[in-house]
Amino acid sequence: MRTLHDLSTPFFALVILTLLCTVSIPLGLSAQGWEMALAPRQWSFPRDHGSHGEYRTEWWYFTGNLTDNEGKRYGYQLTFFRYGLAAQAKIPANPWSVRDIHLAHFAITDASNGTFHFRDRASRKGPGLAGAGNDAMDVHVLNWSAVMKDGKIDLKAAHDGMELSLSLVPAKPLVLHGRQGLSRKGPEPGQASYYYSFTDLRTRGTLKTPDMKSPVAVRGISWFDQEFGSNQLSPGQEGWDWFALHLGDGRDLMVYYLRKKDGTIEKESSGTLAEPDGTSRHLTLSDMETTVLVHWKSTRTAGRYPAGWRIRIPTAGIDVTIRPLVADQELVNTVSTGITYWEGAVDGKGTSKGKAVTVEGYVELTGYAGTLGGVF
């Protein structure tokens, strides 16, 4: 007999994926009661670090590049998703009455031995099983959590030989992407999300992979994204390529391409450049030039992913080349969404304002092993 905590079955994954696909909202409509991202938002923090239950989809996304005391390099991802199945629970007073499904992904890349470890999980809210606070960042799925208090974010996750315990402190103000945080994802009304980031989070703590006897102390830099909306991708869109890069001169660069099924790039693709002093500016598709240099093919899913890039932002004097720390950083999620994607630590080098810089960061690639169109 399985307990409520034991959700790691192909059947449960199939149920979740079916729910995700069948509750999609027609473009421009909110007939099921969800709010839509239609106009620039009046933000209020720390409240807006919390949950926005009036929107169907939301995520709190942490990635980071870390080093231990011996100079060994690691990457990590810890992501929390809230997906609304109904705008109102049938029985609001009953903690078992399902309104949202809470999902989470946890991954560690160990560049020193070329390994990648990941886990995923899913849960209903229930009496304390999972949830997201409304007034501040306080999210958890079982014993994985992200809590912000007094300006510091604490991350904790442990499962099956993997452990993460980190403290993150913003070194720059948060950045609003798009137009006052309204990030367009397509031409239709509501085909957008509200999106902001902490691009520079000074990070300390410990991590452990299944190959280690005990946790190791690490330090480095993290990136945090929070995004919420109700109708982001259309059925004609296949997926996206997302880059979150830290340049050695203190500049942070986000580049986001939306790919259509016909092979073209959505004109609403965009980016953001954050300067060392915390000021930032919006980048349009015409500002960004990205060339894929090489590909990697998964032996598990046959997905063929880009695996090396040259990124140029001519108006900002940026020209960098990046590659993955480990080729295979593919997440085949069988417990939570059932969606496969590549998310991994990268590094590289290039120039910024005519001076040589190193680069580190994270890249996310979706829709290369199955389309995402119409799901998010």
Q: How many CB atoms lie within 10 A of CB 67?
A: 16
Closest Cα partner for 82 from 119, 130, 34, 47? 130
In a domain, 279, yes or no: yes
CB of 340 closer than 8 Å to CB of 333: yes
Residue 218 confidence (pLDDT) above 80: yes
User: Residue 158: what pLDDT?
Assistant: 97
The CATH number of the domain holding residue 302 is 2.40.370.10
Q: What is the pTM of this model?
A: 0.89
Percentage of the chain beyond pLDDT 90 is 77
pLDDT in tens, 185-201: 988 888 999 999 999 99
User: What is the pLDDT, as a whole number, of residue 25?
Assistant: 34
160 against 30, higher pLDDT: 160
152, part of any domain: yes
The mean pLDDT value of the chain amounts to 88
Q: Which residue has the higher pLDDT, 375 or 102?
A: 102
Q: Is the pLDDT of residue 13 over 80?
A: no
> What is the Cα Rg of the chain in Å?
19
Within a domain: 294: yes
Among 84-88, 143-147, 348-352, which is the least confidently predicted range?
84-88
- Mean pLDDT of the 197-216 span: 97
Is residue 375, in this structure, part of any structural domain at all? no
Q: 85 lies in which domain range?
A: 10-21+44-366
Average pLDDT value for residue range 305-322: 98
Q: d(Cα 126, Cα 133) in Å, to the nearest integer?
A: 14
316: confidence class by pLDDT, cuts 50, 70, 90: very high
Specify the pLDDT at position 17: 38
pLDDT at 186: 87
Q: So what's the pLDDT on residue 375?
A: 45
3-class secondary structure, 203 = strand
- Domain count across the chain: 1
